[in-house]
Amino acid sequence: MNKVLLVSDGLHSASNAFDFINRINAHYPVTIAGAFLPRKYVYNWTYALPEGGLYKPPIDAGDAYLVNSHVRDFKEHCRENNISFRVHRELYQEALPALKLESRFADLMFLCGEDFYNDLTFNTPSDYMRDILHGAECPVILIPEQANYPESVVLAYDGSRASAYAIRQFANLCPQWKQLPVYLVYVASKDTNELPYETYIREHTETHFPSLSTYRLNKDDHDDFAKWLAGPRNPILVTGAFGRSGLSELFHRSFAAGMAAGKKIPLFVAHP
């Protein structure tokens, strides 16, 4: 059994993310901790008051009503599907510091909401999204509101510690998707087709994923991956934390292009 942290802005329904979790729970039982974070109240979480405390902006009545309504829906869904759950209301006030601590004691975080998702996929991630992804102490699955449940898996790989770690975490935490068609996608220069540390990565991925194939990206063609991504049916993309490497920049630009074309893709992010 895994402990799952479900993070929502509280102002929009988390039903799609819950559907993902419920389908996983049918095969591999989970316990859910629900955290409902209205984004506009936590942008200033790092600003300290003169006394040394954190600024805690009040939540207006209308937003409080929406959050409470979605919390009730969350509880009802959990009870209807016999899923063990908890709700963390204290995260309203302590926001990201408390969320980081919660993630330390969770196996997997589900982050839902279109605003969260757009922060990551268009241009550059906001400070808020970057803080969540870099501060999370467990892997994160980012789910847009209209995402389809995965029917294939795309593993982003460049031979780095981060990419290998993400693949390993995905294999260990998401056994429900290991039998799907899996694509190991890597970047290579024009003068080589070499898969970085090929013996090692093939041994590892072929052990976990019986339906594995590889795809070589052209490092100099930023549209290459976006075009190819139209092929796999309802993929989930597995990647290490976004950074400054050629791979992360290429995937980031291609992923944004795919989003702009209306392709809503769940994203599994893990960093060592």
Q: What is the pLDDT of residues 167-200, one digit of tens each?
A: 999 999 999 999 999 999 987 666 677 888 999 9
Prediction pTM value: 0.84
Please report which confidence band the pLDDT of residue 248 belongs to, taking 50, 70 and 90 as the band edges. low
Burial pattern 53-79, b for ≥16 Cβ within 10 A else e, equals ebeeeebeeebeebbeebbeebeebbe
pLDDT at 179: 97
Name residue 252's amino acid: H
Domains and CATH numbers, the chain: 2-143 (3.40.50.620), 152-270 (3.40.50.620)
Please report which confidence band the pLDDT of residue 44 belongs to, taking 50, 70 and 90 as the band edges. very low
CA distance to 31, 38, 143, 242, 270, per residue, from 105 (Å): 12, 22, 21, 23, 15
Q: What is the pLDDT of residues 186-235, one digit of tens each?
A: 876 666 778 889 999 999 999 999 999 999 887 666 667 777 888 899 99
Q: What is the pLDDT of residues 17-29, one digit of tens each?
A: 899 999 999 999 9
